[in-house]
Structures are given as C-alpha cells and as structure tokens.
Structure 1
Amino acid sequence: MQQHTDQYYIDKILQGDTQAFEVLVERYQSYIYTIVVRMVRVKEEAEEIAQDTFIKAYQSIASFRGESKFSSWLYSIAYRKALDSIRKNKKYKAAELNEEITEGSIEIIENALTYIEDKEKKELIQKCILKLPEQEAAIITLFYFEEQSIKEIAKITQLTEDNIKVKLYRSRKKMFTLLQHSEVFKMHN
C-alpha cells in the first residue's frame, strides 16, 4: 500500500472524505498520547485529551495553513489541551530538583546505564521523565523522542527558542539527578 503525505490526506478531508482523517489519527495517535501522558501523568486523562486533540484537529483542519509540519500543528493542539487540564488540576505539580551535577557524576551515570538492558533503560528514562515538571517533560519528549527541532518545539509551545534551549539544559540536569538516585542505577554502579 502506498504511503501518502499528510497534506494528501488533509486535501482529501477538505474535499469531504471524512475517512481520510482516520489515517492521520492512526499515524499520530501514539505520539500525541505519549506527549500528553508525560504532561498530565494520568492514563485516563491523557487518553481523553488525546481524543479531544483529534476532535479539535478535525474541526479546525481548514485552518491548517502548512506553515509548519502537520505533526507540529497537532502537537501544538495536544500541548495546549494538556496545559489547560494541568491548570484545572493543580494537584499534579512536580517537585523541582536543584541538585548540582558535575561532569564526573554524568560520566558515572552513563557508565552504569551501559550495563542496563535497553528495555530497562527505556523504562527508567520514561519514569524519570514523568518526575519532571509537565512542560519540561513535554519538551524532552518532543526533542529526544519525537525528534522535533528547537524551532518546531518553540512553535508548538509558543516559547522562544532560547527559552527551549534553557529548559532542555535544565531538564537534562534534572534527568541525570533522577537517574543518579534511581534503584537500577545503584544496582549497576
């Protein structure tokens, strides 16, 4: 089966082919869910927000002008819906970590991680991401897992590129602190 571009399906939707949207949903549903669940941290809530994201995208598809990638436009909708949900439910605030990280401790962590199985590494990193503040978790996910550029992340989050760079730097430091204190790290060190 031939793989078409997002724009192909968007054009089909605008011409009245409602089933074309199903392809876009299938293409992006796991990405949207991943970003949202790392922000709101509640599976059921994340599923609802992801669903709302696609409803909003379908209703607003005519406003997509192609100035950015469709995926970025979609992530932007999801990001804003997740932030709205977080604002409504203030109880999901993550604690800030301000521990100082040295180059030596980063090297120790990286060495310990080489002994951990890939699956275990992935689970450990995902648990650490969930301990970051919501906005930082989203930025880390977009940058490292969704491979979005700093420019695209700035469009999605409506933050400046410099602000994204600072948040990425701080988030990486916090991730290393979390990794350093994880049980898996301690077992392999």
Structure 2
Amino acid sequence: MTDLSLASDALLAERSADGDTVAFGILVRRHGPYLRAFATRLVGSNVDADDAVQDALIVAWDQLDGLADPSKVRSWLTSIVSRKAIDRVRARKPSSELDEARLELAERGPEHRAIASSQLDALSSVLAAMPESQRQCWILKEVGGYSYEEIAERLDTTVAQVRGRLARARATVMTEMEVWR
C-alpha cells in the first residue's frame, strides 16, 4: 500500500470521487485547519465555523465527482465553506456587534491567545467590530481572493454595494491597524 499522505491534491480528489474514504480523510486533514480558519474569519464564531466546515465537507463528499479540475480542490472546498458560512450568518438571530465580539472572545481559550500573534488578535478585533456586511466582503476579497462579482453573487447583493462595503472595511482596517505598520 502506498503512502497517500504524500499524494497530490489532484490524486486524492480523484480517488475520493471514486469513493476512497482514506483519500478524502487525508484531504480533510490537509486542508481542514485552513478551512476552519477561513470560516472562523467569516462567521466570527468557532462553533459556527466548525458547523460550516462540517456541512461543507458533507457537500464536498457528495459532489466530488463533479469537480472539474481536481488540482483545484482547495479553492473548491473554500468556495463551499464560504457558502455554508454565509448561510450560517444569515440564519443567526439579529444581535448586537458587542454580543458578537464578546462571544468571539469567550470562545478563545488561553492556548489560542498564547499561540496567536498580537497582530492577528488586533486584526480579529477590528474585523469583529465591523458591520457584518463589511467584514464578509473584506474576508471574501482579502482572504478568499474572490472577485467583486463573486462576492456580490455569494452575498446576494450588487457589485456597487460590494465595492462600497469593501472600501469602508479597508479604510477601517488601515486606520485601526496603523500601529502595526
């Protein structure tokens, strides 16, 4: 038996599409931490991020045979996680930004604070304080690398609104992160 942990993403995706659960498990272990971090930045909650990633992996397993380019499995998984995370945010009961920030801080344990750099903590605080629509646009663009059109489609809004939200989010990040320059 060959060591699949050294296999390319494309090979693992192809084998997973054929029903190889071991290959899919390796893909999940390889990309899971990134997907979880991406989802956490979108939803601002570890619990919702875990749920979004889990939902996305279920969808991915069911739809792997439709993946056009197996070498791009990571971006494909990120796209699914993005949709699931946004669904979670939309399903939330409306709450104040302060409640969201408190929830995020409560979920962070001492290990996370010890491991995370001060700069990432500061950025997280800036993002948590942003209006949700601005935060979503910023993360999809700056972390996910999505185009304005893709963001507008995912958030069910217009490209002009995405540009405006993103401009305000970028201005906020630049102002608040000035001390780190």
* Number of aligned residues: 159
| 2:56 pairs with 1:53 | yes
Quote how far apart the aligned CAs of 1:132 are: 2.6
Whether the 8 Å CA contact 2:38–2:143 is kept in 1: the answer is no
Larger deviation: 9-18 or 159-168?
A: 159-168
> Shift of residue 133 of structure 1?
3.5
TM-score (norm 2): 0.67
Give the aligned partner of residue 170 of structure 1: 168
What's the TM-score, normalizing by structure 1? 0.65
Q: For 1:92 and 1:60, how far apart are their aligned partners in 2? A: 34
Counterpart secondary structure, 1:19: helix
* Equivalent residue for 2:154, pick from 146, 157, 179: 157
CA distance 1:41–1:172, change in 2 (3 Å)? same
Q: Quote the Cα distance in structure 2 between the aligned partners of 1:68 and 1:161.
A: 29
CA distance in 1, matches of 2:48, 2:93: 14
Structure 1 residue 54: Cα displacement: 0.9
Summarize deviations over 1:2-60 as a string: whole Å, max 9, x none: 74332211111122311101111112212221222222222212111111111111111
Moved over 6 A (4+): 158-163
Specify every segment of 5 or more residues in structure 1 that has no aligned partner in the other structure, as ranges. Answer: 96-117
Q: State which structure, 1 or 2, has the greater radius of gyration over its C-alpha atoms.
A: 1
Structure-2 residue corresponding to 1:122? 120
Runs of at least 5 residues in structure 2 that lack an aligned partner in the other structure: 99-115
Q: Which has the higher contact order (CA 8 A, sep 6+)?
A: 1
CA 1:4–1:164: 2 relative to 1, 3 Å: farther
Partner of 1:30: 33
1:87, distance to aligned residue in structure 2 (A): 1.6
- Aligned CA distance change for structure 1 residues 24 and 136 (closer, same or farther; 3 Å): farther
Higher helix share: 2
